[in-house]
């Protein structure tokens, strides 16, 4: 290749990668010679951001199955930064660039849509996920291809199939040369395919949605009615999430922000819903979840396993401890004379459970109410393990929930429960334990427990 051809090839490559050093390395040209060529051609080199070694470590932890929070804590970054890395969000000056073309300004909060023409290398959204080829993998493909390695050999070295390597080379080889940086940028840009927002243009659908929001319909109700009344018309179908995005994301531009006032919550910003893995534990001492509870507790074959809860009175000011044995449905009630703090509940539970024979003190299942914050001290005092239900899963303590409903006959909602003394509670417990139960073959809980004692 002649000197002028080499120079021309360098200038073409510089337009693609934007950086003199990268283009020079790929073509094997001296850096200072390449910089002189760029200067004479009136081209400037775009500075490449330094790779963050923490990002590589973070991605490795995620591929190994670590949660976002755990991986972020281990590499020393904020969880919001980790979320951006997961979603391919790029930071530049005072803006965040999303793979779908959104640009969010830090200072003003303004959201705009960037054009999807090829961005400079420093703004190429990073492709994430083990399914996609990374930039280091593409660099290695380029190096091994120059060395004459076969497709199968390259695939084995990268842990990829030979067909993946072939498709990559066939799709992104230009002039007989595979350029990894250009290939990676091309793949990243083509991966983001934002569709026109369905509610962005005036029409019947947008008018229908705006009108129903003004009537204070929820997005879910609007979507459901459209699905029912226009089942065969695709142009009149819209999902609940699309409506919410049209309201809250200015870039989608579908509906005026004023329509937010029609939503029942009146929020101007969306409220994120945390997944169970991101919930902050409300207890200092770690909980043992119900998923770790032994199988013999679940099938009610072994007696001595209890479910517990509180029933609360007017203004959440008074409460009663309720315990139900899972196999016999035997009920025990605990008197809380003043308050229902964690210490007060613990002080009632310890003697209540301690009054039972040792073989009937198997375990206690409770919800994640703050009244059980002192569960570790209870376990130490009674040697009874405490298992906690999942959030918003009352059916995991079904016997206790059913019993609490029966107790409301004697302790109605909205009344002061502190007026009921220990004798009153014992009287009510005896009434429930003396009732025949269909699930017990019409035996009473008291009869079943007497057989065990």
CA 453 to chain centre: 47
| Mean pLDDT, rounded, of the chain | 82
Determine the pLDDT at residue 274: 60
**pLDDT > 90 in the chain, percent:** 34
Domain 288-452 matching CATH 3.30.70.100: the answer reads no
- The mean pLDDT of 320-336, rounded to a whole number, is 94
pLDDT in tens, 285-301: 888 999 889 888 888 88
Q: Tell me the pTM.
A: 0.44
**Which pLDDT value is given to residue 427?**
94
The string of pLDDT tens digits covering residues 345-393 is: 999 999 999 999 999 999 999 998 889 999 999 999 999 999 999 888 8
Please state, in angstroms and as integers, the Cα–Cα distance from residue 59 to each residue in 48, 52, 67, 140, 141, following that order.
20, 11, 11, 19, 21
Which of 26-30, 272-276, 278-282 is predicted most confidently?
Answer: 26-30
Residues 238, 246: Cα–Cα separation, whole Å: 11
Over residues 15-40, the mean pLDDT reads: 83
pLDDT at 121: 43
Q: Residue 203: left (phi > 0), alpha (psi -120 to 50), or beta?
A: left
pLDDT digits (tens, 9 = 90+) for 172-184: 888 788 988 888 8
Q: Does the pLDDT of residue 247 top 70, yes or no?
A: yes
* CB distance 261 to 212 below 8 Å: no
Residues 6+ apart with CB under 8 A from 85: 55, 58, 59, 126, 128
Contact 90, 120 (CB under 8 A): no
Q: Which residues lie below 8 Å from residue 437, measured CB to CB, with a gap of 6+? A: 329, 443, 444, 445
């Amino acid at each position: 290749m002649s000197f002028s051809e080499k120079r021309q090839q360098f200038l073409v490559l510089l337009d693609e990668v934007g950086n003199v050093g990268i283009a020079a390395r790929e073509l094997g040209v001296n850096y200072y010679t390449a910089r002189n060529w760029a200067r004479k051609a009136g081209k400037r080199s775009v500075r490449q951001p330094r790779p963050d070694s923490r990002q590589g470590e973070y991605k490795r932890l995620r591929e190994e199955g670590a949660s976002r929070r755990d991986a972020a804590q281990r590499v020393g970054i904020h969880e919001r930064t980790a979320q951006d890395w997961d979603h391919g969000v790029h930071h530049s000056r005072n803006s965040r660039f999303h793979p779908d073309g959104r640009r969010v300004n830090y200072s003003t909060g303004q959201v705009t849509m960037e054009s999807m023409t090829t961005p400079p290398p420093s703004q190429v959204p990073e492709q994430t996920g083990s399914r996609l080829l990374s930039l280091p993998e593409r660099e290695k493909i380029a190096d091994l291809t120059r060395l004459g390695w076969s497709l199968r050999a390259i695939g084995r070295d990268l842990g990829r199939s030979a067909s993946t390597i072939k498709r990559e080379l066939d799709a992104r080889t230009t002039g007989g040369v595979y350029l990894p940086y250009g290939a990676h940028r091309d793949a990243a840009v083509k991966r983001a395919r934002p569709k026109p927002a369905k509610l962005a243009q005036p029409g019947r659908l947008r008018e229908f949605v705006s009108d129903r929001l003004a009537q204070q319909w929820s997005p879910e109700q609007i979507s459901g009615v459209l699905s029912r009344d226009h089942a065969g018309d695709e142009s009149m179908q819209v999902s609940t999430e699309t409506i919410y995005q049209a309201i809250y994301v200015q870039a989608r531009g579908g509906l005026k922000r004023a329509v937010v006032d029609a939503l029942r919550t009146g929020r101007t910003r969306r409220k994120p819903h945390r997944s169970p893995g991101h919930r902050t534990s409300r207890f200092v001492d770690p909980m043992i979840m119900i998923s770790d509870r032994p199988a013999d507790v679940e099938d009610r074959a072994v007696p001595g396993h209890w479910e517990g809860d509180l029933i609360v009175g007017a203004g959440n000011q008074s409460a009663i401890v309720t315990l139900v044995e899972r196999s016999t449905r035997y009920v025990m009630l605990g008197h809380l004379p003043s308050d229902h703090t964690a210490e007060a509940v613990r002080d009632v539970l310890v003697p209540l459970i301690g009054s039972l024979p040792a073989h009937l003190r198997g375990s206690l299942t409770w919800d994640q109410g703050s009244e059980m914050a002192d569960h570790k001290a209870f376990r130490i005092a009674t040697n009874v393990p405490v298992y906690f239900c999942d959030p918003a899963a009352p059916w995991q303590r079904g016997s206790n929930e059913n019993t609490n409903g029966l107790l409301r006959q004697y302790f109605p909602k909205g009344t002061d429960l502190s007026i009921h003394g220990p004798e009153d509670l014992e009287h009510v417990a005896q009434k429930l334990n003396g009732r025949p139960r269909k699930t017990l073959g019409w035996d009473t809980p008291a009869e079943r427990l007497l057989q065990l004692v």
